[in-house]
Structure 1
Amino acid sequence: MNYRMIKKISLGALSMLLLVSCGKEQSGGRGQAPPQEYKTKVLNKENAGLEKVYPATIKGQEDIEIRPRIDGFIEQIFVDEGSIVRKGQALFRINSPQMKQALLTAKANVASAEASLNTAQLNVAKTIPLAEKEIVSQYQLEMVKNSLSSAQAMKDQANAALQNAVESEKWTTVTSPVDGLVGSIPSRLGSLVNSQNILTTVANTSQVFVYFSLNEKDMIDFITNAEGSTQLEKIKQMPDVSLILANGKQYEHKGRIETIAGNINTQTGSASLRATFPNQEGLLRSGGSGKIVIPSFIDDALIIPQKATFSQQNKILTYCVQADSVVQTLIEVEPTPDGQSYVVTKGLKVGDVIVIEGLASLKNNMKIKVQ
């Protein structure tokens, strides 16, 4: 009884093993799934426009710090912050007791010098007839004449000091050296100020200077690729540049690059450039910020969609089709202004085929079917 039961169980187990084995053989006999189809692109030469964007600082064409030339207290303020002023317009009046005292002293010195000159003239007039009659010696006559010359020199010196005091007294009124806009006024009525204090700034912003920097590599490429044989010629032939304002909108007027610094800043490793923009509407203010956009144009460029790339360890790669498989290919690119494509600068050539859709499901050396 037990023997028959064991025999039945053994035969049942063997039958199950045979069925499983047959199932695997039948499954294996069906083969692998066919390669998946992917959309691709054959690379050809195209013309492309690129843009380089750099942070920038805006300064007035003339951006002048206004300081008093004398020590004193602010007695009057004739303008307000943001006012439009003209060259020579009064901005502040400084109450300077020292200047008043210096002017009074200079006037007194002139009066004293005039009295001394008159006395010397009288002495000469009195001594000449006495010398002619030989009552006094020629030596005494020369002495009084020398005294007259000295008195005249003292008078001239006193007059010069008076003129200087008069001109210095004018410094009590602080005027604008240029047409422009008044900046902030940190000091108020009654404040004690001297030449170390900035009363305000006046910025001529009819045109503005926009400063930006390029690192050494970008600077070399920028100069090398520009047309012209000298730096001056290259600057003249550079394309117009655009300005993106702090609110993200593009300034309506174009600007021109006018200067390139002659040295590289050793601390930042960059060189400064200056572009000039018109500002008749007064929208741009000195001290503002923005971004300079420099356009460039490339003939015979290789353009690929950004969606045909992926990043890995801060590097850009794409899948290049070789025969019936794909291979991960490292490339160097520049983004196009539309934000949808790349211009390939290294890693691909004309005629290469790349996958442009479905990259997430691909692996290196994976077999595919080209659509």
Structure 2
Amino acid sequence: MADRQDRIAEHQRGSTFPTRTACATFLTFTLSTAVVLLTGTLLVGCGSSPDEEAEDADQGRYTATGPLLTDTVVDQTYVCQIHSIQHIEVRALEKGYLQDILVDEGQHVKEGQLMFRIRPVLYQAEVQQAAAEAEFAEIEFRNTKALADSNVVSPNELAMARARYEKAKAELAAAQAHLGFTEIHASFNGIVGRFHVRKGSLLDEGELLTELSDNSSMWVYFNVPEAEYLAYRRNEQAGNGTKVRLMLADTEIFDQVGEITAIESDFNNRTGNIAFRATFANPKGVLRHGQTGNILMQSRLDHVLLIPQKATFEVLDHRYVFLIDKNDTLRQTRIETSGELQHIFVVNKGLTKDDHFLLEGLRKVKDRQKVEPVLVPPDSVIKHLELYAE
């Protein structure tokens, strides 16, 4: 028995299985190594790459500029109504059945061209009756005159016979005029509008048949505020002309230049505006009566401040910039504009020529934030925008 126990103890000492103490030592080493590796990983993860460090260094730096004080010319835009130089309603001058329609809607007609004919039978009969009465009165007058020359009748009877003859001639002329009114002719060269009646319609005197428009030239009406009216007068006196352009509904510019030919006598007390009229030649017939568009009228502005449009933002229909104060702190500042060019606003309130404002990064900052501005000369900024617009 004692020998067997000694052999078992000797076998255990030579076995490759670890003892309890060895297992504990191995686990302690493994956990320590894992902790060291995990700590190293966390330290590496918390570190910054070179690019991120450079970005952090630039954080807070934004491009800024100031307004450009200069003279410029801007286009003032006004909503307008376009009218034919002549636009009339064509109406029936006599009552009766509409016998013939001799033109079509949208057709170009010449002055004097027959357009409509009312059935003339009744009026022809009236002319014949009036002609017969006039002939009878003429015969009576001649007979009375012969008797008067022979002193058979008194001068008063001759005068009455003459009056009856003159009356009969007048009634004949009236009947012929009524017959003439059964034919409606074009009053001028123009375009026929929509028909309001059809062939065979029973017409009343004065009933609307169609419209006729002369579109060879067009009158364009638009309203101008008082201050801009005064600026226009100054430009006119300075010899800058009265030419305007017309922007159509599809934003295309009409190929003819217009000229201001009339200004209304009074301002509208309710709106404070005054009506202008510009005349445009319309050789291709592009413009039609009743169209709308926008008048572009150039106005010269002296000693005004120009700023890039991208330096502004809107809040509740008001325009703002981020003004940079002497402490490099942003101040949300409201401005007012009096005109605009492509990519440029003309500022008339809210800025001075010595101010600086944020040019880029407006969505990344907020009011009263401190920044490090990188100033760019305003003339180079505006010049770049003008080149970009071209």
Instruction: Provide the TM-score with structure 2 as the length reference.
Output: 0.74
Flag the 1:73–1:236 CA change in 2: closer, same or farther, 3 A: farther
- CA, structure 1 residues 299+264, in 2 after alignment: closer, same or farther (shift >3 Å)? closer
Q: Distance in 1 between matches of 2:205 and 2:148?
A: 48
Alignment check: 8 A CA contact 2:232 2:299 kept:
no
Would the aligned equivalents of 1:235 and 1:259 in 2 still touch at CA under 8 Å?
Answer: no
Counterpart in 1 of 2:175?
165
Shift of 1:177: 0.9
Q: Distance in 2 between matches of 1:347 and 1:171?
A: 68
| Distance in 2 of aligned mates of 1:42 and 1:266 | 39
1:245 deviates by: 1.6
Deviations 1:47-98 (A, max 9, x none): 3332222222221111121112111211111111122111111111111455
Hey, what does 1:241 align to over in structure 2?
Answer: 244
Which residue in the other structure is 2:115 paired with? Answer: 91
- The C-alpha deviation readout for 1:184-204, integer Å capped at 9, x for no partner, is 122111112234322122211
- Deviations 1:19-57 (CA, angstroms, capped at 9, x unpaired): xxxxxxxxxxxxxx9971111103331333322222222
Measured in 2, the distance between the counterparts of 1:239 and 1:205 equals 22
Offset of residue 365 of structure 1: 2.8
Q: Distance in 2 between matches of 1:187 and 1:95?
A: 15
Give the equivalent residue in structure 2 for 1:331.
335
Shift of 1:348: 0.9
Following superposition, the deviation at residue 345 of structure 1 comes to 0.8
Provide the residue aligned with 1:300 in structure 2: 303
The reply on whether 1:365 has 2:368 as its aligned counterpart is: yes
In 1: Cα distance, 2:201 partner to 2:239 partner: 49
- Look up the equivalent residue of 1:65 and give its one-letter code: E
CA–CA distance in structure 2, aligned partners of residues 302 and 47 of structure 1: 9
Alpha-carbon distance change, 144 to 164 in structure 1, aligned in 2, over 3 angstroms: same
SS in 2 for 1:200: strand
Ranges in structure 2 where 5+ consecutive residues have no aligned partner: 1-55, 375-390
CA spacing shift, 1:225–1:122, aligned 2, 3 Å: closer
Structure 1: 5+ residue runs without aligned partners?
A: 1-32, 129-140
Corresponding residue SS for 1:282: coil
Q: Tell whether 2:267 aligns with 1:264.
A: yes
Q: 1:272 to 1:192 in 2, by over 3 A?
A: farther
Alignment of 1:288 with 2:291, yes or no, is: yes
User: Equivalent of 1:201, from 196, 208, 211?
Assistant: 211
- Within 5 A, what are the aligned runs for 1:1-371? 36-121=60-145, 123-124=147-148, 128=151, 144-214=154-224, 218=225, 220-228=226-234, 238-265=241-268, 270-323=273-326, 324-338=328-342, 340-371=343-374
2:231–2:299 contact (8 Å) kept in structure 1: no
The amino acid of 2:126's aligned partner reads: A
Paired residue type of 1:103: V
CA shift for structure 1 position 228: 5.0
Identical aligned residues as a percent: 29
Change over 3 Å in CA distance of 1:365–1:53 after alignment to 2:
same
SS of residue paired to 2:154: helix
What CA deviation, in whole Å up to 9, does each residue of 1:215-234 have, x standing for no partner? Answer: xxx2x1122112459xxx65
Task: Quote how far apart the aligned CAs of 1:360 are.
Answer: 2.3
Higher-Rg member (1/2): 2
SS at 1:199's partner residue?
A: strand
Structure 1 position 125, deviation (Å)? 5.5
Q: Any idea what SS the aligned residue of 2:227 has? A: helix
In the alignment, what sits opposite 1:3?
none
Which residue pairs with 1:7 in the alignment? none
Q: CA deviation at 1:352?
A: 1.1
The secondary structure found in structure 2 opposite 1:107 is helix
Provide Cα deviations, 1:72-127, integer angstroms capped at 9, x if missing partner: 2111111111221111111111114553343233123213313432442454366x
Q: Are the equivalent residues in 2 in contact too, given 1:72–1:97 (CA < 8 A)?
A: no
Matched residue SS, 1:58:
strand
SS class of match (1:224): helix
Per-residue deviation at 1:276? 0.6
Displacement after TM superposition at 1:255 (Å) = 0.6
- Per the TM alignment, residue 275 of structure 1 is displaced from its structure 2 partner at its CA by 0.8
* Equivalent-residue separation in structure 1 for 2:332 and 2:350 (angstroms): 11
Give the Cα–Cα distance (whole angstroms) in 2 for the partners of residues 354 and 112 of structure 1. 99
Could you say what secondary structure the match of 1:226 adopts?
A: helix
Corresponding pairs, count = 317
State whether residues 185 and 199 of structure 1, in contact with CA within 8 Å, keep that contact through their aligned partners in structure 2: yes
| Alignment TM-score, normalising by the size of structure 1 | 0.78
Alignment check: 8 A CA contact 1:50 1:297 kept: yes
Counterpart in 2 of 1:134?
none
Q: Does the aligned pair in 2 maintain the 1:227–1:237 contact within 8 Å?
A: no
